[in-house]
Amino acid sequence: MYLELNGVSKTYNGRVHALDGVSFAVERGQFVSVIGPSGAGKTTLVRLLNGSERCDAGQIVLDGAHLENARGGALRAIQKRLGTIYQDFALVENVSALQNVLNAALPDMGALPALAGSFGRQRRQQALGLLERVGLAGKADEPVRELSGGQKQRVAIARALMRSPALLLADEPVASLDPVTGRQILELMKDIQRTEGVTVLMNSHNLDFARQFSDRLIGLNGGRLVYDGPADADEDTLAAVYAGKAAP
Amino acid sequence: MSRRRLPRWAIVLAGLALFFLAARFTGCDLALLWERRGHLTDILGQMFPPDWKFLPRVLSPLWATVQMSVTGTVLGSLFALALAPLCAANLSAPPALRVLLRALVQLARTFPALILALAATFLFGIGPFAGTAAITVYTFAIMTRLTCDDAQSASTAAYRALLAMGTPPYRAFFRAVFPGVASTYLTNALYLLETNVRHSAILGYVGAGGVGLLLNEKISWREYSRVGMILLGLFLAVCLIESLSAWLTGLVTGRRRSSPALRRIIVVALAALFLFCTATVGAPDFSRASLRTVRAMLAGLVRPDWAFFFQTDAGGLGWLLLETVCIALAGTAIGAVISLPLAILGSGRIMPRPVALLGRTVCMAIRSVPFLVYGLIFIRATGPGAFTGVLTVALCSVGLLSKRFIQAIDTVDLRAELALAAMGATRLARIRHALLPQLAPAFGAAVLYRFDVNIRDASVLGLVGAGGIGAPLVFAMNHYNWPTAGAICIGLVVLVWLIDLLSARLQGGAKA
């Protein structure tokens, strides 16, 4: 298994159980969507998986490396193999699209070139190529604040791809976009999964999108795993996920 | 807001009562000033026309003054940029380090540049190096605080995204947070460059280089035509720096368009200026410094003269600090009242252009004179004491507040004023009912900020005999009486901390 979670729990302020003993495994190259109502623990799951937060109990194993007790350099070594995209894009608004994509190269550089912003010819070529890959060929030098929402998410995807990630995490990637743009973004992600063999784990509010683009669905409710199965499950099963009942 | 607010009349009444108490305590006596106005007009008359033959002697110390402020501002701002990410609560710095750094910055922020310069002369000897060190520390403290506040209110989404990819925090800060705060950072640094020129102009008073020494000498010898020449030189230097700074601020904030080539030329030119200024500052003189001095200074801070600290009669620390606060309070209030009409006169949006230009020039002339010089001149009319301090603080506040006020007026929304004009309201009525209500929050913030700075400035007025805590502090330092100096410093730290708390509360109330 490529990614394995074993009894993962996370509480905030010692009271709120954001995640409560969640276990599942993901095979390499799968497109998995995590569904569930607001407060189900979807965002917490992504934050644990990309090392932004640490779980209180359980194990997270990514390609043989234990994420749950990695700190400092060991944690960063795991994080370097991940790409994450966010609902609010998390881009630096007043620099260009190219600079935002290049930021993904910072972990591999020396401190001085990083501060001076001298990324080198090869990395620039790579970043330009990725911007072209996500359909922003002419927008490399445009400041991000002047791009549309969909274009911003494309920049964020290019930034994530810049790390050549084995695992692409997506936290509600299309929730801030209109349905048409949202579908285009998901088509792009699906295409990346197919052609590059990247494993994708996506949080989604939108059931239709989740069913259409994923190989498999994972349902969370109140921090517990309530569904783990095929994406073509019937309406009643998925309604049960949102109602907080375990699927049959 | 659910918090209960005091009625407006109660706030106004409390403010007036505070002002009159402060004025009484500092012995404000406008009749005395009016009676002796002849002394002031005499001095002014002797200053103009200035003694042009004296100009060559002014140039070199004037350049040293500019040099100290350029080097000090750049170095202080750079250090601040390096440390600010460690002070911001929303970035991932170790909490213990953050608390320690914040305490250090708060400590450094307490002391006026002049006191820092005096302390620096004990370490680096007499000369511009001590002055540069003082301006560096002074700038560092203010810029760290400002940059840290900006970083704390900036969005950290991109910063966190970079961390999640395994980017070390420092690099993530400079690539993801700094681009968002860069223009405010540069604007603040430029503003400090302007104020630092004025601060450096008095550092010579304690032997830290620049034009201050010469100025003090000529005033004590009553060679007022030469004083006039020095002040004219300073006025021109301040004009030059302010217009350069205004032009650069326009570029930084994007209000003025610029090509990448032009920007590159400017950066190279400024870097060259900085390097030239730094390379020619002159080496420090360590002959006066010794490990023993440093140890004695620190020992004074750690084991201050507690008897003096808790002494309650006139001449005790509490009384002197109270006098300092009252000088700042009365001076700021008088300054604010005078600034208001002056700012309206100086605004090109309300007044015809020639009037506005004249108003602005008067404001700039007032603020180009170092405040100790005002103290030295007023003392000839009103004698030593706190009243002279109040007048000095008031006049200084006029120079600086009117500038802030004019900036506020220049950016205010004029549509309400135009609407009243279309109904035939008189100019005065339009100012009172359409402009002042919109400007009140900005004016209030500017006055509070000025009061905060004035307390620090008022704590050195004693140096020229104008009351407050300054005289005993400088006296103690010059006599190596570190326990007393330590007690005064701790008193100042506590006072500034209390005022900070109060002003944060007041500003919160103004926003609510």
Digit-by-digit pLDDT tens for chain B (512 residues) are 445 567 778 888 888 998 999 988 888 888 888 888 888 888 888 888 888 898 898 999 999 999 999 999 999 999 999 999 898 888 888 889 999 998 888 888 888 888 888 888 888 888 889 999 999 999 999 999 889 988 988 889 999 999 999 998 889 999 999 998 998 899 899 989 988 988 888 888 888 878 888 888 888 888 889 999 999 999 999 889 988 988 888 888 777 777 888 889 999 999 999 999 888 887 787 777 777 888 888 888 888 888 888 887 777 888 888 999 999 999 999 999 999 999 988 888 878 889 999 988 898 888 888 888 888 888 888 888 889 999 999 999 998 899 889 888 888 888 888 888 888 788 888 888 888 888 888 888 889 888 988 888 888 888 777 778 888 888 888 888 888 888 988 888 888 888 888 877 776 655 44
pLDDT value of position B157: 92
List the 285-324 stretch of B: residues with Cβ below 8 A of A: none
- What CA–CA distance (Å, rounded) separates B175 from A107? 12
Q: Are residues B312 and B444 in the same domain?
A: yes
Q: Is there a contact between B418 and B60 (Cβ–Cβ < 8 Å)?
A: no
Q: Are residues B258 and B397 in the same domain?
A: no
Nearest CA in chain A to B254: A94
Q: Which positions in chain B touch A83 (Cβ < 8 Å)?
A: 165
List the 174-203 stretch of B: residues with Cβ below 8 A of A: 174-176, 179-180
Among candidate residues A164, A192, A209, the one where a domain is terminated: A164
Q: Are residues A32 and A46 in the same domain?
A: yes
Q: Number of structural domains, chain A?
A: 2
Q: Is there a contact between A13 and B126 (Cβ–Cβ < 8 Å)?
A: no
B206 φ, ψ (degrees, to nearest 5): -105, 15
Q: Nearest CA to CA, how far is B187 from chain A (Å)? A: 17
Q: Which positions in chain A touch B166 (Cβ < 8 Å)?
A: 75-80, 82, 107
Q: Are residues A3 and A55 in the same domain?
A: yes
- What CA–CA distance (Å, rounded) separates B74 from B477? 28
Our CA dihedral for B471, B476, B479, B484, rounded to 10 degrees, sits at 170
Q: Are residues B232 and B191 in the same domain?
A: yes
Q: Are residues A64 and A1 in the same domain?
A: yes
- What CA–CA distance (Å, rounded) separates B46 from B225? 6
Residue B264: inside a domain: yes
Residue B27: inside a domain: no
Q: Is there a contact between A15 and A217 (Cβ–Cβ < 8 Å)?
A: no
**Residues A9-22, mean pLDDT to the nearest whole number:** 86
Strand partners for A230: A216
Tokens standing for residue B357: 């230009």
Among candidate residues A111, A146, A164, the one where a domain is terminated: A164
pLDDT-derived band of residue A15, with 50, 70 and 90 as boundaries? confident
Tokens standing for residue B140: 């560092």
Among candidate residues A164, A196, A217, the one where a domain is terminated: A164
State the ipTM, two decimals: 0.85
Contact: B162, A83; criterion CB under 8 Å: no
Residue type for position A52: S
CA–chain centroid gap for B276, Å, is 26
3-state secondary structure of A221: strand
Q: Is there a contact between A244 and A221 (Cβ–Cβ < 8 Å)?
A: yes
Is residue A153 predicted with pLDDT exceeding 90?
A: yes
Of B161, B163, B171, the CB nearest to A114: B171
Q: Are residues A248 and A174 in the same domain?
A: yes
Strand partners for A83: A168
Determine which of B150, B155, B165, B252 to mutate to test the interface with A (most A C-beta atoms within 10 Å). B165
Contact: A52, B165; criterion CB under 8 Å: no
**Residues A162-180, mean pLDDT to the nearest whole number:** 91
Q: Are residues B268 and B372 in the same domain?
A: no
Q: Which residues, 6 or more positions from B478, have their beta carbon under 8 angstroms from its beta carbon?
A: B118
Nearest CA in chain A to B181: A94
Q: Nearest CA to CA, how far is B16 from chain A (Å)? A: 47
Residue B447: inside a domain: yes
Q: Nearest CA to CA, how far is B194 from chain A (Å)? A: 28
Nearest Cα neighbor of B374 from B465, B453, B470, B476 is B465
Using the structure block, give the residue that is written with the tokens 């394995």: A4
Q: Is there a contact between A77 and A30 (Cβ–Cβ < 8 Å)?
A: no
Beta strands in A63-173 (DSSP E): 65-66, 82-85, 167-171
Q: Which residues, 6 or more positions from B477, have their beta carbon under 8 angstroms from its beta carbon?
A: B115, B118, B119, B122, B485
Ordered strands of the A3-12 beta sheet:
A16-26, A3-12, A57-62, A65-66
- What CA–CA distance (Å, rounded) separates B345 from B351? 6
Is residue A246 predicted with pLDDT exceeding 60?
A: no
Helix axis angle for B128-153 and B55-87, nearest 10°, is 40
Contact: B176, A92; criterion CB under 8 Å: yes
Nearest CA in chain B to A53: B164
Nearest CA in chain A to B161: A90
Q: Are residues B105 and B239 in the same domain?
A: yes
- What CA–CA distance (Å, rounded) separates B326 from B26? 7
Q: Are residues A96 and A202 in the same domain?
A: no
Q: Are residues B122 and B213 in the same domain?
A: yes
Residue B69: inside a domain: yes
Residue B296: inside a domain: no
Q: Are residues B339 and B376 in the same domain?
A: yes
Nearest Cα neighbor of A40 from A200, A219, A237, A248 is A219
Q: Are residues B257 and B323 in the same domain?
A: no
Question: What phi-psi label fits residue A120: left (phi over 0), alpha (psi between -120 and 50 degrees) or beta?
Answer: left
Q: Are residues A171 and A188 in the same domain?
A: yes
Bridge pairing between strands A3-12 and A57-62: antiparallel
User: What's the alpha-carbon Rg for chain A, to the nearest Å?
Assistant: 18
Is residue A247 predicted with pLDDT exceeding 70?
A: no
Q: Are residues B309 and B265 in the same domain?
A: no
Q: Are residues A92 and A71 in the same domain?
A: no
List the 7-46 stretch of A: residues with Cβ below 8 A of B: none
pLDDT tens digits, A210-233: 999 999 999 999 899 988 988 888
Q: Print the domain residue range for A19.
A: 1-81+165-248
Among candidate residues B229, B245, B279, the one where a domain is terminated: B279
In chain A, count H helices and then E strands. Answer: 9, 10
Is residue A193 predicted with pLDDT exceeding 70?
A: yes
Is the CB of residue B157 less than 8 Å away from at least one CB of chain A?
yes
Q: Are residues B419 and B372 in the same domain?
A: yes
Q: Are residues A57 and A47 in the same domain?
A: yes
Beta strands in chain A (DSSP E): 3-12, 16-26, 31-35, 57-62, 65-66, 82-85, 167-171, 199-203, 216-221, 224-230
pLDDT value of position A1: 67
Nearest CA in chain B to A167: B165
**Residues A140-168, mean pLDDT to the nearest whole number:** 93
Domain CATH code at residue A71: 3.40.50.300
Residue B14: inside a domain: no
Q: Are residues A31 and A141 in the same domain?
A: no
pLDDT tens digits, A52-85: 889 999 999 998 899 988 888 889 999 998 999 9
B226 φ, ψ (degrees, to nearest 5): -75, -40
Q: Are residues A130 and A64 in the same domain?
A: no
Q: Are residues A159 and A99 in the same domain?
A: yes
Q: Print the domain residue range for B483.
A: 303-511
Residue B499: inside a domain: yes
Q: Are residues A199 and A242 in the same domain?
A: yes
Domain CATH code at residue B494: 1.10.3720.10
Mean pLDDT of chain A: 90
Q: Are residues B101 and B175 in the same domain?
A: yes
User: For chain B, first and last CA: distance in Å?
Assistant: 7
pLDDT value of position B507: 67
**Residues A73-101, mean pLDDT to the nearest whole number:** 91
Contact: B175, A163; criterion CB under 8 Å: no
Of B158, B164, B167, the CB nearest to A91: B158
3-state secondary structure of A171: strand
Q: Number of structural domains, chain B?
A: 2
Share of chain A above pLDDT 70, in %: 98
Tokens standing for residue B174: 């400079």
Nearest CA in chain B to A106: B167
Residue B186: inside a domain: yes
Determine which of A71, A103, A108 to mutate to test the interface with B (most B C-beta atoms within 10 Å). A103
Q: Nearest CA to CA, how far is A245 from chain B (Å)? A: 33
